[in-house]
């Protein structure tokens, strides 16, 4: 068993990841200020900045959806039952015993079974809930101008509760994500991979030919 450096994360993928991270942190920072947790920008300024960042995140999400379907990267998130129990055991016990990872990462399979479930839940549940409730929160007055009373000041608190619950789920995901980032071969291994696009993965002789072919294909698409 050896190691080989493979081009895993494309340029847009890295841009999307870091821009999404910046926007989510900024939205969380301004959002909790709006809730009165602390004062930094001031309430009115925090609302303005929060809304601007929200529009930027929605635009990024739309762009990322297009990219995923155009490149076929959406297939990375298809869940599977295989190795789930082994992956759970690895995170609970194996990782602290320096046991080998139960699944291999490749350019065509970047996520382990639990990561697939977590990211799929983020993309299909948490992000849509945050975006929808956030837009309803911003435009709750608009429907009432045309006689639509189902969304008005009386129901705004429920929208706010849903939005806050989604924010807390997102915070929990980010904390877990940051922790798992440090569990690579070295503390900064995974971080470096998302900065450069390259990651050293375990290989055997049987994998080498496939890796050469996949790496060449990824390099040709590096600036896609």
Closest by alpha carbon to 221, among 3, 13, 20?
13
Closest by alpha carbon to 3, among 189, 221, 213, 179?
189
Percent of the chain with pLDDT over 70: 82
- Tell me the average pLDDT across 35-43: 91
**Is the confidence at residue 219, as pLDDT, over 50?**
no
Q: What is the DSSP letter of 101?
A: P
Longest dimension (CA), the chain: 69
**Is the confidence at residue 99, as pLDDT, over 90?**
no
Over residues 1-13, the pLDDT tens digits come to 567 888 889 999 9
CB-based contacts of 41, cutoff 8 Å, min separation 6: 30, 33, 49
Closest by alpha carbon to 42, among 30, 53, 52?
30
Residue 100 confidence class, pLDDT cut points 50, 70, 90? confident
Q: Do 77 and 111 meet the contact criterion of CB atoms below 8 Å apart?
A: yes
CB-based contacts of 95, cutoff 8 Å, min separation 6: 183
Over residues 110-161, the pLDDT tens digits come to 888 999 999 999 989 999 999 988 888 887 755 555 555 555 566 678 888 8
What is the model's pLDDT at position 143?
53
Note the pTM of the prediction, 2 decimals.
0.79
CATH superfamily of 2-218: Transmembrane di-heme cytochromes, Chain C (1.20.950.20)
Domain ranges of the chain: 2-218
What is the model's pLDDT at position 182?
85
What is the model's pLDDT at position 180?
84
- DSSP secondary structure of 10-43: -HHHHHHHHHHHHHHHHHHHHHHHHTTS--SS-H
Closest by alpha carbon to 77, among 127, 121, 125?
121
């Amino acid at each position: 068993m050896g190691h080989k450096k493979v081009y895993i994360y494309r340029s847009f993928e890295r841009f999307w990841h870091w821009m999404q991270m910046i926007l989510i942190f900024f939205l969380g920072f301004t959002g909790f200020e709006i809730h009165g947790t602390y004062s930094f920008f001031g309430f009115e300024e925090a609302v303005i900045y929060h809304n601007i960042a929200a529009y930027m995140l929605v635009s990024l999400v739309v762009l990322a959806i297009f990219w995923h379907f155009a490149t076929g990267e959406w297939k990375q998130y298809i869940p599977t039952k295989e190795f789930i129990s082994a992956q759970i055991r690895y995170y609970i016990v194996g990782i602290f015993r320096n046991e080998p990872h139960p699944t291999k990462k490749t350019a065509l399979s970047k996520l382990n079974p639990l990561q697939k479930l977590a990211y799929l839940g983020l993309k299909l549940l948490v992000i849509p809930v945050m975006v929808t409730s956030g837009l309803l929160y911003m435009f709750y007055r608009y429907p009432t101008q045309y006689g639509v009373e189902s969304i008005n000041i009386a129901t705004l608190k429920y929208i706010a509760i849903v939005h806050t619950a989604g924010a807390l789920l997102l915070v929990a995901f980010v904390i877990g994500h940051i922790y798992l980032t440090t569990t690579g071969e070295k503390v900064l291994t995974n971080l470096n991979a998302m900065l450069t696009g390259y990651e050293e993965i375990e290989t055997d002789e049987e994998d080498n030919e496939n890796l050469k072919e996949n790496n060449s294909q990824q390099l040709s698409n590096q600036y896609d």
